[in-house]
Amino acid sequence: MVTISCSCGSVCDSRRNPLRGLDVAERLRLVEAAFSAHDGFLTLELDAAWHPGSDEPGPACVVLVDLDELDACAGLDEDEARRLRAALRGTRVAGRALPSPVLVDGTWFRVAPAQGYVPHVTYVVHDEAGTVLEVDEPLVERDLLAELVDEFGRQGRDGLVRLDAVAARRSLAGALDALRARPEVAVA
């Protein structure tokens, strides 16, 4: 069984697996276009016929199913399951592949799907002393992870801590843009 939920708050965890009966090619296409995929977990948007509970779906309802690797591979032979598990290793949001984690001088830079029903991502920078930056951001075309790594090279840990404070008020992209517009001024 899989968890099916809706943005309106309806949750149901006793429904059949919507991937059962699909061949591996169809499942791979779904992974490519997934609402999100991360660490072997997959979230797919379903049509309104899957709306959980007894209420009729409203026009703003977004119906999602959360599956783990085992549910996603149910009913496939071993070779097909291996192909699907390989596709689930990547991180995707709204059908877009996200960059892999980056390690620079003991500092990790990561991007992962954010919680919620919108295509947002969470950027996290951490080192042995703790979290340096953590920002939820709408999915944008820019490679903000690479920009964070570059900024770390210019301003170090303290610069990213200041950037985190500005990003909380503006957005990460906005904070990086402001910094680029006035590089002579430290992020404040």
Q: What is the DSSP string of the chain?
A: -EEEEETTS-EEEEEPPTTTT--HHHHHHHHHT-SEEETTEEEEEE-GGG--SSSPPPTT--EEEEEEHHHHHTT--HHHHHHHHHHHTS-EETTEEPPPPEEETTEEEEEEEPSSSS-EEEEEEEETTEEEEEEEEE--SS-HHHHHHHHHHHHHHHHHHHHHHHHHHS-HHHHHHHHHH-TTSPP-
Averaged pLDDT score across all residues of the chain:
88
pLDDT of 66 = 87
Percent of the chain with pLDDT over 70: 95
Q: 82-114 pLDDT, tens per residue?
A: 999 998 888 889 888 899 999 999 999 999 998
The pLDDT of residue 56 is above 90: no
- Of 10-14, 69-73, 177-181, the one with minimum mean pLDDT is 10-14
pLDDT of 188 = 45
Tell me the pTM.
Answer: 0.79
Q: 113-151 pLDDT, tens per residue?
A: 988 777 889 999 999 999 999 999 998 889 999 999 999
Mean pLDDT (whole number) for 53-72:
86
pLDDT of 90 = 82
